[in-house]
Chains A and B, each alone.
Chain A
Amino acid sequence: MSATLPDLTPALPEIFVACAAMALLMVGVFKKDNLLKVVTRLGVLSLAIAFVIMVAKMPGLDRVATTFGGMFIVDGFSVFMKSLVLIGSMAALLMSQQYLIDRKIDRFEFPVLIVLATLGMMMMISANDFMALYVGLELQSLSLYVLASFDRERQRSTEAGLKYFVLGALSSGMLLYGISLIYGFSGTTSFSVLSTGLANSENIGLVVGLVFVLAGLAFKVSAVPFHMWTPDVYEGAPTPVTALFAAAPKVAAMALLMRVVLGGFPTMAADWQQIIIFISIGSMLVGAFAALVQTNIKRLMAYSSIGHVGYALVGLAAGTVQGVEGVLVYMTIYMTMTIGTFACILSMRRDKALDLDINELAGLSRNQPAMAFALAVFMFSLAGIPLLAGFFGKYFIFMSAIDAGLYTLAIIGFVASVVGAFYYLRIVKIMYFDEPAAKFDDNEFGTMGFIMGLTAALNSPLSFLLIYPLLGLAGVAAASLF
């Protein structure tokens, strides 16, 4: 009775990131000066190496590899989503440094926690079993709770962390309750077994379990009606952490949601589809209307992210390969827009402190024309104005909804994006047509300028060149999920 070692090759990127995080802790303990800078750079480097390992060890575009008794899965979809998560985390890490130093919270645990959160997200994306899903999710969430209250001297930050923790624990409870019901009624936690074993079994217990699981996951993607924590946490958390929240965990939770409903319950599509349609409509409307009255740009971005999750869910509601392809393209574009916008937000500094009222952006076009132009590109793109990248994301999503016959959903989405365009365009108006406010601190053209320029270029009409290769990749990734 001897056990064989499981095949570790598919999980190599995760193993590397885990070891790297522990090594970074050691570096943090033994190195004395310039600590944050060194650990941040090493953190970015190790995420980049994990990315290279992942691409190099990929089992082929249309092949699937599982290991650890089928709990861990690597396919085109997981590689695509993990790439997004890794890029998002690297960008958040690079953008965090200056802010942490200015706020005097430059402790080396910050990059280590971001690396561990990224590891959790990668494990979530590769989960092919409810137990693997849960441990990945908790690893991610626990790191993010700590990061949200990292600025512990400031009351808003600790409040954000506590709120996020309590509501996150509640959602984990709901998720676990749902998982226990599903396990009780089907006898398995593996998505592969669930997808094949549930053919034509209409079981009320399973449906109740699925509803609870979806409620728990909707919490993590901040979809209405489980979105209440988002504005407060986004506003209170340190701004680089908010940038991370808006980019990486959202992508990972979205991937998880798609994996659960399409990988685990393809036979119960009629049951989960109506839930997804409902939370999608709710998110789009709340995202559009609640953001109209916000003046704090971080709160505005929180409502904006709720709205964008709603649009992405439209593609999932369609439940087709084309719809999933649309979601993947949408999440990619959404991430570039968010990272760019947060690079601008982190540059709104006066005397080493951030000023986050949108009226402070007045006349930015005359003081800092480059930053104003980049921010205008992001705002047009977020609004989905044609010729910019954000338009393509919405276009593919709505097309897939119309092809699947979900006309109402597409029309509501269209109306919501028109309403949403108002507050994005208001920022552009403030920057270009209002009387100039005091000037922001000059940024040395460093990391921040680079990220801003790159993401602005990706969102500009230049994206015409990139959208077809992206569509190709997303198509392959989406096909691997079915």
Chain B
Amino acid sequence: MMIAFTFYLFAAIAVLGGVMVISSKNPVHSVLYLILTFFTAAGLFVLMGAEFIAMILVIVYVGAVAVLFLFVVMMLDVDFVRLKEGFLQYMPIGATIGLVLLAEIVMVLISRSADITTEALSHVAQPTPEGVTNTEALGRILYTDYIYIFQAAGLILLVAMIGAIVLTHRKRPGVKRQVIADQVATRPEDVIEVKKVRPGRGI
């Protein structure tokens, strides 16, 4: 009962958040609603017992992707009024595609029979072993059977990092940097010059 209630609550929030993402006028609000949707989706994953995907969703999508979106939206000066001008023009084709998708879903629902579900269930990957969380189950094969691929992927990321630095890092001449050692080693006679100022002449 409690689980069903939580599910419907989260699902409703997720759907509402999704609607608000596309309907709110302010793009920053859209991104914030997107984050809300991600969070509730993560909650739904926890309900299904897939806590690893839930964590990834929060860490990667909320932590990185959504924040990146926020930056882009705030920095780019997109004229949203002009962007929405074509709305009516594209309305018919958009509506047609939506109707086709809806019809497909309805057809699947109508034609669904008992044997299809059992056949589909036979294709589902094996559930995680008893008494092991799916994070642990993933880790057990990722760091043993697939250690070679895992390490190679790490090397690819290293190359990506080196590449980004090689192609963009520039040494600009004339940049003033604070070097503490130089500051400490400076003596008064290096930087102070004593001038004799004659009255009425200036330097």
Tell me the A residues contacting B by CB distance below 8 Å: 1, 3, 6, 11, 18, 22, 25, 68-69, 71-72, 107, 109, 112-113, 116, 119, 123, 131-132, 135-136, 138-139, 142-143, 145-146, 149-150, 152, 161
Any A CB within 8 A of the CB of B81: no
Tell me the B residues contacting A by CB distance below 8 Å: 140, 143-149, 151-153, 155-156, 158-160, 162-163, 165-167
- Closest 7 CB pairs between A and B? A146-B163, A3-B144, A135-B152, A68-B148, A109-B166, A142-B159, A139-B156
Residue of B with least CB distance to A71: B148
Residues of A within 8 A of B149 (CB): 71, 131-132, 135
Q: Known pairs A69-B148, A123-B152; list 15 more (Cβ under 8 Å).
A: A3-B140, A71-B149, A109-B165, A113-B163, A116-B158, A119-B155, A131-B146, A132-B148, A139-B152, A139-B155, A142-B159, A142-B160, A143-B159, A149-B167, A150-B166
Residues of B within 8 A of A22 (CB): 158
Q: Is the CB of B163 within 8 A of A138?
A: no
Residue of B with least CB distance to A25: B162
- List 9 interface pairs A-B (beta carbons < 8 Å), by A numbering: A6-B147, A107-B166, A116-B155, A119-B155, A131-B149, A135-B156, A139-B152, A142-B159, A152-B166
CB < 8 Å: which of B146, B147, B155, B163 contacts A145?
A: B163
Residues of B within 8 A of A72 (CB): 148
CB distance from B4 to the nearest CB of A (A): 35
Chain A contact residues: helix, strand, loop or mixed: helix
Chain B contact residues: helix, strand, loop or mixed: helix
CA distance A143 to B152 in the complex (A): 13
CB distance from B138 to the nearest CB of A (A): 14
Q: Is the CB of B167 within 8 A of A152?
A: yes
CB distance from B102 to the nearest CB of A (A): 28
Q: Is the CB of A18 within 8 A of B155?
A: yes
Residues of B within 8 A of A119 (CB): 155
Residues of B within 8 A of A6 (CB): 147-148
Residue of A with least CB distance to B145: A69
CA distance A143 to B165 in the complex (A): 13
CB distance from B160 to the nearest CB of A (A): 6
Residues of A within 8 A of B140 (CB): 1, 3
Q: Is the CB of A139 within 8 A of B159?
A: yes
Q: Is the CB of A112 within 8 A of B163?
A: no
Residue of A with least CB distance to B162: A109
Contacts A135-B153, A146-B167, A152-B167 hold; do A113 and B162 have CB atoms under 8 A apart?
A: yes
CA distance A22 to B151 in the complex (A): 13
Residue of B with least CB distance to A131: B149
Residues of B within 8 A of A132 (CB): 148-149, 152
CA distance A11 to B145 in the complex (A): 15
Residues of A within 8 A of B167 (CB): 146, 149, 152, 161
Q: Is the CB of B166 within 8 A of A113?
A: yes
CA distance A34 to B93 in the complex (A): 64
Residues of B within 8 A of A25 (CB): 162
Residues of A within 8 A of B160 (CB): 142
Residues of A within 8 A of B146 (CB): 69, 131
CB < 8 Å: which of B147, B151, B156, B166 contacts A138?
A: B156
Residue of A with least CB distance to B132: A1
Q: Is the CB of A146 within 8 A of B147?
A: no
Residues of A within 8 A of B166 (CB): 107, 109, 113, 146, 150, 152
Task: Give the interface centre of B143, B145, B148, B156 by most chain A CB atoms within 10 Å.
Answer: B148
Residues of B within 8 A of A109 (CB): 162, 165-166
Residue of A with least CB distance to B144: A3
Residues of B within 8 A of A107 (CB): 166
Residues of A within 8 A of B156 (CB): 135, 138-139, 142
Residues of A within 8 A of B163 (CB): 113, 142-143, 145-146
CA distance A146 to B160 in the complex (A): 9
Q: Is the CB of A113 within 8 A of B159?
A: yes
CB distance from A193 to the nearest CB of B (A): 14
CA distance A71 to B159 in the complex (A): 22
Contacts A146-B167, A149-B167 hold; do A112 and B152 have CB atoms under 8 A apart?
A: no
Residues of B within 8 A of A116 (CB): 155, 158-159, 162
CA distance A139 to B83 in the complex (A): 40
CA distance A3 to B152 in the complex (A): 20
CA distance A3 to B159 in the complex (A): 30
Residues of B within 8 A of A113 (CB): 159, 162-163, 166
Task: Give the interface centre of B149, B151, B166 by most chain A CB atoms within 10 Å.
Answer: B166
Q: Is the CB of A112 within 8 A of B162?
A: yes
Residues of A within 8 A of B158 (CB): 22, 116
CA distance A139 to B166 in the complex (A): 16
Contacts A3-B140, A3-B144, A68-B148 hold; do A146 and B162 have CB atoms under 8 A apart?
A: yes
CB distance from B145 to the nearest CB of A (A): 5
CA distance A139 to B156 in the complex (A): 5
Residues of A within 8 A of B155 (CB): 18, 116, 119, 139
CA distance A346 to B147 in the complex (A): 41
CA distance A109 to B140 in the complex (A): 35
CA distance A152 to B153 in the complex (A): 26
Residues of A within 8 A of B162 (CB): 25, 109, 112-113, 116, 146
CA distance A12 to B158 in the complex (A): 20
CA distance A72 to B149 in the complex (A): 10
CA distance A71 to B148 in the complex (A): 8
CA distance A136 to B146 in the complex (A): 14
Residue of A with least CB distance to B157: A142
